[in-house]
Amino acid sequence: MSPRLSAPGLMLVLLAHAAAASSPPAADDTARIRLAVARGRVLPLPRILDIAQHRVPGEVLKVELEEMSDRLGYEVKVLTADGRVQEIKLDARTGAILKVEND
C-alpha cells in the first residue's frame, strides 16, 4: 500500500531529520522545497514513493531529501515483509533509482 501525504505532511517528513538535529526546520527550507517541486526540480513525494515501493515493496519508515554532490536526491528507507530494512536512493528530479542497499 502506497502512503499518501498532504503538502504539510510532505514538509514534515522531508524536514524531520532537521528537527532530530535539535533545531526546528527553518521556514525558508520549507519554501525552498515547495518551490523546487513547483519548478520541476524535485518530483513530488507521492511519485517518489510509488517508484521506491515498486522496486522495494514494504512499509516506508523514513524519507529524506538530501543534497548529493551533483544533485538533489531522495533517500527512502523501507521495511520489507521479511524484516529487512532497505535504503533506496533516487534522483529527486527524475526519479531514477541510483542505489538500493541493505541498511
User: pLDDT of 23-39, one tens digit each?
Assistant: 455 667 778 888 888 99
Q: What is the band of 14 on the pLDDT scale with cuts at 50, 70, 90?
A: low
3-state secondary structure the chain: CCCCCCHHHHHHHHHHHHHHCCCCCCHHHHHHHHHHHHCCCCCCHHHHHHHHHHHCCCEEEEEEEEECCCCEEEEEEEECCCCCEEEEEEECCCCCEEEEEEC
User: pLDDT of 52-70, one tens digit each?
Assistant: 999 999 999 999 988 888 8
> Which domains are seen in the chain, by residue range?
7-102 (3.10.450.40)
- What is the arithmetic mean of pLDDT over 75-97? 96
**5 vs 14: which has the higher pLDDT:** 14
